[in-house]
Amino acid sequence: MATDREQQLMRHAFALAQNGPERGVNPRVGCIIATPDGTVLSEGWHMGAGTPHAEVAALSTLAKDAARGATAIVSLEPCNHTGRTGPCVDALLDAGIARVVFAASDPGRHSRGGGARLAAAGVDVEGGVLAADAEALLGDWLPTARLHRPLVTLKWASSLDGRTAAPDGSSMWITGPESRADAHLLRARHDAIAVGTGTVLADDPSLTARDADGVLLDAQPVPVVFGRRAVPESAALRRHPHPFTHYDGRDLSHDLSDLRDRGVRTLFLEGGATLASALLRAGLVDTIVAYLAPALIGGDRLALTDIGVRTIDDALRPQLTDVTRTGDDVRLTLSMKGNR
């Protein structure tokens, strides 16, 4: 069991971790090397992809053999794979570390298992120390590592009867300015924003996050397009601050996994109905944000198409987590947990 001093040092490791970048493919991690009685020998944190991991950063400040017999306190289980850098497990073993205390377990496909390997090599290992605090620190990195894909938020704006456009195809504007401003703030809070090629060809969206005056917000999501058709050379998204990524959408699970490998943890899905329905059918949507306007349109231009429901018993039933009024509209936020 971790001592009071080790728990105190773990909290300091959490603080060290926050010196690292908040976004990107890698997590924030802090590490402290201490003597068995709790005297700190060195400390370090991960500063971003391609830089030394926290354990290596801490060890690098010590003379050879200075860490032999010492304890490593790490906010995340030491990694067990070779990526841009070598396995932290190897670095700890080479340094002669005798005990490792870590908080959250690493769920990564290739990086997990470090604790077990250390224990097999004779190192005293204590995991799960202040794990809840570590999970809060890791934020959305942890669920995306477990899912091997970004967290996906599906957003639509529709009339009260679920129509996203009138029978003639016109859709500007179903919802009011307050809802549109709110949606742009949501765009800015996500790493990437996605649409299908049908939406690109029909609406020519810019996929930028803007204020009420049309000025670009500081944070801009990376544009992503799914579909087999080409994006026109004149498309507005080609003028986006970030270059767009294009997938044919034949294997959505693979595409989302690739996005995560590129550092995308959160994906904001704007449309259209074909792409949204495909992701729902595949169980790849985590949150739904629906703006409902007090308008009735009728017709067949629905927010969704076939999502695999054949009887009422098959209906997807997301959990309502928030209801907020945005001007004359209502924003519903729902969790798909339990429907994946």
Structural contact between residues 175 and 330, judged by C-beta atoms closer than 8 angstroms: no
Amino acid code (one letter) for 291: Y
Structural contact between residues 225 and 197, judged by C-beta atoms closer than 8 angstroms: yes
Amino acid code (one letter) for 47: M
Sheet holding 40-45, edge to edge: 40-45, 30-34, 71-76, 99-104, 124-126
- Does the residue 326 lie in any domain? yes
**Per-residue pLDDT band at 83 (split at 50, 70, 90):** low
Our count of domains for the chain comes to 2
pLDDT digits (tens, 9 = 90+) for 276-327: 999 999 999 999 999 999 999 888 889 899 988 999 988 899 999 999 999 9
- Does the residue 208 lie in any domain? yes
Mean per-residue pLDDT, 189-199: 95
**Per-residue pLDDT band at 23 (split at 50, 70, 90):** confident
Using the predicted structure, report yes or no on whether residue 264 has a pLDDT greater than 90: yes
Mean per-residue pLDDT, 91-95: 95
Share above pLDDT 70 across residues of the chain, in percent, rounded to a whole number = 98
Judgement on whether residues 107 and 156 belong to the same structural domain of the protein: no
Judgement on whether residues 210 and 236 belong to the same structural domain of the protein: yes
- Does the residue 82 lie in any domain? yes
Judgement on whether residues 328 and 242 belong to the same structural domain of the protein: yes
Judgement on whether residues 182 and 325 belong to the same structural domain of the protein: yes
- Does the residue 253 lie in any domain? yes
pLDDT digits (tens, 9 = 90+) for 205-254: 999 999 988 899 999 999 999 999 999 999 999 999 999 999 999 999 99
Give the pLDDT score at 282.
Answer: 94
Give the pLDDT score at 174.
Answer: 87
Judgement on whether residues 130 and 198 belong to the same structural domain of the protein: no
Range of the domain at 34: 4-145
Is 55 among the catalytic positions?
A: yes
Using the Cα atoms of residue 22, residue 319, residue 327 and residue 151 in order, give the sign of their dihedral.
Answer: positive
Judgement on whether residues 266 and 233 belong to the same structural domain of the protein: yes
* Residue from 6, 43, 55, 77 carrying the catalytic annotation: 55
Q: Which SS3 state, helix, strand or coil, does residue 293 take?
A: strand
- Does the residue 8 lie in any domain? yes
* pTM exceeding 0.85: yes
- Does the residue 36 lie in any domain? yes
Judgement on whether residues 127 and 91 belong to the same structural domain of the protein: yes
Judgement on whether residues 233 and 272 belong to the same structural domain of the protein: yes
Question: Which among 145, 163, 184 is the end of a domain?
Answer: 145
- Residue whose C-alpha is closest to residue 270's, from 192, 335, 195, 220: 195
Using the predicted structure, report yes or no on whether residue 3 has a pLDDT greater than 90: yes
Q: How far apart are CA 164 and CA 323, in angstroms?
A: 20
Give the pLDDT score at 133.
Answer: 96
Nearest 5°: CA angle at 141, between 281 and 252?
25
Give the pLDDT score at 299.
Answer: 85
131: CATH? 3.40.140.10
Judgement on whether residues 123 and 161 belong to the same structural domain of the protein: no
Give the pLDDT score at 183.
Answer: 95
Other beta carbons less than 10 A from residue 325's beta carbon: 10
Q: How far apart are CA 66 and CA 47, in angstroms?
A: 23
Distances in Å between the Cα of 155 and the Cα atoms of 69, 152, 179, 207, 297 are 53, 10, 12, 13, 19
159: CATH? 3.40.430.10
Place of tokens 């098959």: 314
Give the pLDDT score at 110.
Answer: 67
Share above pLDDT 90 across residues of the chain, in percent, rounded to a whole number = 78
Give the pLDDT score at 84.
Answer: 65
- Does the residue 340 lie in any domain? no
Using the predicted structure, report yes or no on whether residue 340 has a pLDDT greater than 80: no
Lowest-pLDDT range of 35-49, 69-83, 237-251: 69-83
Question: Which among 94, 123, 145 is the end of a domain?
Answer: 145
pLDDT digits (tens, 9 = 90+) for 140-174: 999 999 999 999 999 999 999 888 888 877 777 88
Give the pLDDT score at 320.
Answer: 96
**Strand ranges (DSSP E) for the chain?**
30-34, 40-45, 71-76, 99-104, 124-126, 151-159, 192-196, 222-226, 245-247, 266-271, 287-293, 319-326, 329-335
- Both tokens of 340, joined, read 């994946």
Q: Phi and psi for 81 in degrees, rounded to 5? A: -150, 165
Judgement on whether residues 75 and 164 belong to the same structural domain of the protein: no
Using the predicted structure, report yes or no on whether residue 338 has a pLDDT greater than 80: no
Q: How far apart are CA 312 and CA 98, in angstroms?
A: 58
- Does the residue 302 lie in any domain? yes
Using the predicted structure, report yes or no on whether residue 111 has a pLDDT greater than 80: no
Question: Which among 110, 127, 145 is the end of a domain?
Answer: 145
- Mean pLDDT for the chain overall: 92
- Judge if the upstream peptide bond of residue 173 is cis by omega within 30 degrees of 0: yes
Judgement on whether residues 136 and 183 belong to the same structural domain of the protein: no
Structural contact between residues 156 and 183, judged by C-beta atoms closer than 8 angstroms: no
**DSSP structural state of residue 78:** P
Judgement on whether residues 330 and 221 belong to the same structural domain of the protein: yes
In the chain, DSSP finds a helix count (H) and a strand count (E) of 10, 13
